[in-house]
């Protein structure tokens, strides 16, 4: 009986080996890669320049940075232009015009002149009549980092749009060369905006905390990822590059307060003195883990939000409150954990923080050691906020919101311009 | 593949036909464990099948555990036919759904969102009862199986080139047909 048993088991193993040798057990794997890419649409430079003016209003689709000047909101449509919104009545804002400006992501306003990037160039636009905005000057090659290598086919053509295309590639998993092509991946929406505050009656407007442009007196400061450019705007309609400073790497935002510039970088916050406005001098540094970090400040306190994701390294998501009484040595007072904080703004004791998909959070910041949540509005991908004159403008994925915080205990949504 | 399906359908038909002849069926349970060998790392497998036996025929339902490449729980119908002098040999066929039970693998660390889905499960084999009695016996079995897996993996890559501020959805879809030979030792009662 034992022999029979052994024979049977041996027979099965022999059969198994035979099957294995026939190659019947080769796994098959079929791989499909669906990817999206963008194809540039070109126009002639002359055609594009001729169209940089107030045109018919367009729907907001991909809102970028916001800027307030007087009764107007200038809302960047990323890489396409600027929406002009009459905000005389914040409860009923009117989208009145669109300035076509391909390659635009940053804006700032002094007097009646709006400064905007136009890919590498700086353009000054007269907005004394926002319904009839017109170019007064082009300053070429101010932002050399904005050149789109590989896309600028010649100097007479300008990219004015991108067409999204989707393709699917099929192949066997063994032929995995497509994996190396996966760089054409996802870009998180990095809608930007920031805050440098001044009253509506002063020559310059108000930007959000994610801004890369800052206007201080007769100079406009512009940061790229590694440099600070100072542009003389003494004659508002005639901007002239005054100087350029190398800052290192990872600069993200700029916030002016009094005679100081607060630069947010992926590795920390830098404070520069503007006593010599053409040659700012670094006075203080606060280093944090590598991540994205807009910054705002008042007399003694700086507020820095750190967030992860979307090209930001690190995993920190928090609000850092810093004591900057001693500019040379900022000290961390306290960190507050948040979900995915972005832009922020402060008015009086109220601190407004855009916390990603947790929306807008409004804090009582009278005591930096004990900042407490007053109210929260859930908004999709809240990105930046400007709180000024009892109105908080918030950019979220689905539009531009305005909140009335006249009653600090009962902040109310008063209007929204939705994206389409 | 087609043959296995035809075999299964034929088995079910026979079982139904015999059931209509008022012949008393007998409950049988097959429980086995073994090894799966394929292109990937060999791995363990186990199964239990319960059903009705009539003369040379058996039909039942089973559930298995398969750790081959991706862990899964195949749930299936089983039919088998016994032959030989002592009816000690049998052939079997399974058809069912391969249910995925694990969704996080190290190989997916570079994707930001991965979803696994199951697929069809097919298995056929040849078995032999060892020292069979009417009530119970051990058995060995040699099977050939195919289980299907689907993986959809999205990637999130920050790229710092134009056009900025756009969101893409890139994703990979993997369709696996994982083929194995199984050697199992089981107990029938």
Mean residue pLDDT of chain B comes to 83
Among B177, B181, B183, B186, the residue to mutate for chain A (most A Cβ within 10 A) = B181
Longest dimension (CA), chain A: 108
Write the CB contacts of A354 (distance below 8 Å, at least 6 apart in sequence): A341, A342, A343, A344, A360, A361, A379, A382, A383, A384, A385, A394, A395, A396
**Beta strand extents in A173-218 (DSSP E only):** 194-196, 206-209, 213-216
> Which residues of chain A lie closer than 8 angstroms to B157, CB-CB?
182-186
CA dihedral of B114, B117, B123, B129, whole degrees rounded to 10 = 80
Whether B170 sits inside 8 A of A183 (CB atoms) is: no
Residues of A numbered 30-69 whose beta carbons fall under 8 angstroms of chain B's beta carbons: which are they? 30-38, 40, 62, 64
Q: Does A182 touch chain B (CB under 8 A)?
A: yes
pTM of the model: 0.66
Q: Which of A405, A403, A406 is nearest to A414 (CA)?
A: A403
Write the CB contacts of A21 (distance below 8 Å, at least 6 apart in sequence): none
Q: Which of B150, B2, B14 is nearest to B70 (CA)?
A: B150
pLDDT in tens, A69-112: 999 999 999 889 999 999 999 999 999 999 999 989 999 999 99
pLDDT tens over chain A, length 420 residues: 555 555 666 665 656 555 555 557 788 889 898 888 778 888 998 999 999 999 999 999 989 999 999 999 999 998 899 999 999 999 999 999 999 999 899 999 999 999 999 988 999 999 999 999 999 999 998 888 877 766 665 678 888 888 888 888 888 877 654 443 333 322 222 222 233 343 334 566 788 888 999 999 999 999 988 899 999 999 999 999 999 999 877 888 999 988 899 998 888 889 999 999 999 999 988 887 566 678 888 888 999 998 876 555 567 889 999 999 998 889 999 999 999 899 999 999 999 999 989 999 999 999 999 999 999 999 999 999 999 989 999 999 899 999 999 999 899 999 999 998
Helix (H) or strand (E) run with residue A283 in it: strand A281-287
Residues of A numbered 187-246 whose beta carbons fall under 8 angstroms of chain B's beta carbons: which are they? 187-191
The residue written with tokens 């932002």 in the block is A143
ipTM of the complex: 0.74
The whole-angstrom distance between B69's CA and the closest CA on chain A is 10
Residues of A numbered 85-114 whose beta carbons fall under 8 angstroms of chain B's beta carbons: which are they? 105
CA distance A190 to A119: 17
The residue written with tokens 């036996």 in the block is B53
């Amino acid at each position: 009986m034992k022999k029979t048993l052994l024979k049977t088991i041996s027979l099965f193993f022999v059969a198994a080996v035979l099957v294995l040798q026939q190659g019947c057990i080769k796994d098959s794997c079929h791989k499909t890669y669906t990817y999206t890419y963008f194809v540039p649409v070109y126009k002639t430079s002359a055609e594009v320049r001729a169209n940089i003016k107030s045109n018919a209003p367009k729907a907001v689709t991909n809102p970028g940075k916001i800027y307030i000047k007087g009764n107007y909101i200038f809302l960047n449509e990323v890489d396409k232009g600027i929406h002009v919104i009459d905000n005389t009545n914040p409860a009923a804002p009117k989208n009145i015009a669109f300035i076509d400006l391909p390659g635009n992501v940053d804006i700032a306003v002094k007097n009646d002149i709006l400064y905007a990037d136009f890919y590498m160039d700086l353009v000054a636009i007269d907005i004394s009549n926002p319904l009839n905005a017109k170019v007064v000057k082009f300053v070429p090659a101010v932002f050399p980092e904005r050149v789109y290598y590989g896309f600028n086919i010649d100097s007479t053509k300008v990219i004015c749009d991108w067409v999204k295309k989707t393709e699917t590639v099929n192949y066997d998993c063994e032929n995995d060369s497509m994996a190396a092509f996966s760089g054409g991946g996802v870009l998180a929406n990095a809608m930007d905006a920031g805050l440098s505050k001044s009253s509506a009656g002063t020559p310059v407007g108000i930007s959000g905390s994610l801004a890369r442009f800052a206007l201080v007196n007769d100079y406009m400061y512009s940061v790229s990822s590694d440099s600070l450019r100072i542009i003389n705007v003494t004659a508002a309609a005639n901007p002239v590059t005054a100087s350029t400073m190398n800052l290192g790497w990872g600069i993200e935002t700029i916030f002016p307060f009094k005679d100081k510039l607060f630069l947010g970088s992926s590795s920390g916050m830098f404070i520069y003195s503007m006593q010599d406005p053409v040659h700012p001098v670094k006075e203080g540094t606060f280093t944090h883990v590598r991540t994205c970090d807009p910054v705002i400040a008042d007399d003694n306190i700086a507020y820095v939000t750190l967030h992860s994701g979307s090209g930001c390294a690190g995993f920190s998501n928090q609000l850092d409150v810093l004591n900057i009484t001693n500019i040379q040595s900022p000290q961390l007072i306290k960190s507050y954990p948040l979900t995915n904080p972005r832009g922020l703004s402060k008015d009086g004791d109220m601190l407004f923080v855009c916390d990603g998909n947790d929306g807008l959070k409004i804090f009582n910041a009278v005591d930096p050691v004990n900042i407490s949540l007053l109210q929260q509005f859930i908004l999709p991908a809240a990105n930046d906020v400007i709180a000024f004159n009892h109105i908080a403008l918030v950019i979220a994925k689905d539009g531009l919101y305005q909140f009335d915080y006249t009653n600090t205990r009962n902040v109310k949504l008063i209007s929204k311009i939705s994206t389409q | 593949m087609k043959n296995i399906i035809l075999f299964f359908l034929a088995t079910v038909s026979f079982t139904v036909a015999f059931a209509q002849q008022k012949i008393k069926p007998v409950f049988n349970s097959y429980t086995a464990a073994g090894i799966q060998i394929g292109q990937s790392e060999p791995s363990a497998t186990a199964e239990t099948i319960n059903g009705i036996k009539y003369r040379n025929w058996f039909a039942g339902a089973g559930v298995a555990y398969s750790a081959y490449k991706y862990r899964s729980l195949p749930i299936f119908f089983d039919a088998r036919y016994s032959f030989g002098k002592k009816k000690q040999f049998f052939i079997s066929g399974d058809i069912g759904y391969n249910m995925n039970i694990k969704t996080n693998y190290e190989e997916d660390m570079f994707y930001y969102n991965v979803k696994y889905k199951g697929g069809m499960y097919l298995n056929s084999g040849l078995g032999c009862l060892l020292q069979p009695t009417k009530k119970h016996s051990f058995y060995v079995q040699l099977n050939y199986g195919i289980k299907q897996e689907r993986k959809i993996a999205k990637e999130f890559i920050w790229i710092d080139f134009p056009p900025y501020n756009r969101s893409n959805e890139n994703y990979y879809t993997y369709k696996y047909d994982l083929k194995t030979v199984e050697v199992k030792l089981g107990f029938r009662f």
